[in-house]
Amino acid sequence: MANIQWYPGHMNKAKNQIIDILELVDVVIEVVDARIPLSSRNPLIEKLAQKKQHLIVLNKADLADPVETKRWVTYFSNLGHEFVIALDAKHNSQIEQLVTLIKQATAAKTKKIMAKGALSPTIRAVCVGIPNCGKSTILNRLVGKNVAVVGDRPGVTKNQNWLKAKGNIQVLDTPGILWPKFDDQEVGYKLAACGAIKDSIFHADDVAIYLLDFLKTNYTRQLREFTRVTDLDAQSTPELLLQLTKQFGYRDDYDRFALILLQRFRKLKLGRISLDWVAHND
């Protein structure tokens, strides 16, 4: 399988802009993909947020395995992260709770400012995360209208914009950023499967085979229901991909079917699935 890397110039520029803006913000809202809460955490963001109040938002919880999502919230809490929330920004779930967490995270600073005479101090937050994790959708929910550009592909947000949100909060929208090198190529495959990397960057058949392998081991029932193949271990995973290519009507065009399989996974056609499991990281 080929290595996956994607770090275009605009990501490095965005990283530098975030570093420059950190002094102005009170809280960092780190958005991760609930299907891959660990693999979608940019290690750079963890480092940058060390001296700031820090929220972790597991977005797209409607796409993830709900049992695993609960475990991940507990996992991050046990690591010492005081403010962790799982939500579904697309359907406006838990947004009010997110506003409450932002206010809780900044309560001490707000109290100090109010003690000096300010009646309603503005809370400044920066929203950061990998591409296509739903940052802009979260911001639109916080603001109450569609002011941030959204899309179901990475690289939609190109610039940084301050947005006035509910509760006297100002939030900075930022482009999604990855990191220059994935030390573990499995992270690259998970990011690709979930749509955080442009489909043109990687070989779809490699990622589809990785996904099928994971599903065969961890989500056997869902894979059987989707493929209607009862004995998933009767052949190798590449052979299974070829069989499914023919079965779904794509003849020998397994590259095209591999991409179709990834798209169907992203659109819940295989059910609510998490590719990061807490048990695999204990």
The reply to whether 93 and 225 lie within a common domain is no
Contacts of 83 (CB under 8 A, 6+ apart): 53, 54, 55, 56, 101, 104, 105
**Domain around 127:** 9-173
* 86 in Cβ contact with 55 (< 8 Å): no
Whether the predicted pLDDT of 151 surpasses 50: no
Contacts of 105 (CB under 8 A, 6+ apart): 26, 27, 53, 54, 55, 82, 83
Question: DSSP secondary structure string, 238-270?
Answer: HHHHHHHHHHTT-TT-HHHHHHHHHHHHHTTTT
In a domain, 226, yes or no: yes
Supply the CATH number for residue 45's domain.
3.40.50.300
The reply to whether 221 and 85 lie within a common domain is no
Look over the chain and give the mean of its residue pLDDT values, rounded to a whole number: 89
pLDDT tens, residue by residue, 80-134: 999 999 999 999 888 999 999 999 999 998 898 888 887 788 999 999 999 999 9
The reply to whether 261 and 159 lie within a common domain is no
pLDDT tens, residue by residue, 202-218: 999 999 999 999 999 99
The reply to whether 122 and 219 lie within a common domain is no
Residue 158: what pLDDT?
Answer: 46
CA atoms within 13 A on the CB side of 27: 28
Question: DSSP secondary structure string, 159-208?
Answer: S-EEEEEGGGEEEEE------S--SSHHHHHHHHHTTSS-TTTS-HHHHH
The reply to whether 119 and 245 lie within a common domain is no
Q: Are strands 123-129 and 83-86 parallel, antiparallel or unpaired?
A: unpaired
What is the torsional sign of CA 18, 23, 29, 32? positive
Greater confidence (96 vs 8) lies with 96
Residue type, 105: A
The neighbouring-strand residues paired with 162 are 172
The reply to whether 21 and 158 lie within a common domain is yes
In a domain, 164, yes or no: yes
Residue 260: what pLDDT?
Answer: 97
In a domain, 212, yes or no: yes
In a domain, 156, yes or no: yes
In a domain, 190, yes or no: no
The reply to whether 45 and 112 lie within a common domain is yes
CB atoms within 10 A of CB 23: 8
The DSSP letter of residue 278 is G
- Tell me which of 173, 193, 217 is where a domain ends: 173
The reply to whether 156 and 18 lie within a common domain is yes
The reply to whether 29 and 123 lie within a common domain is yes
The reply to whether 98 and 147 lie within a common domain is yes
pTM score, whole prediction: 0.90
Residue type, 115: A
In a domain, 276, yes or no: yes
The reply to whether 33 and 121 lie within a common domain is yes
The reply to whether 89 and 226 lie within a common domain is no
**3 state SS of 96:** helix
Greater confidence (199 vs 281) lies with 199
Report the number of distinct structural domains present in the chain: 2
CA distance between the termini of the chain: 27
- Tell me which of 156, 173, 190 is where a domain ends: 173
- Tell me which of 121, 151, 173 is where a domain ends: 173
In a domain, 1, yes or no: no
Residue 156: what pLDDT?
Answer: 41
Residue 242: what pLDDT?
Answer: 96
Rounded CA-CA distance 111/113 in Å is 5
In a domain, 53, yes or no: yes
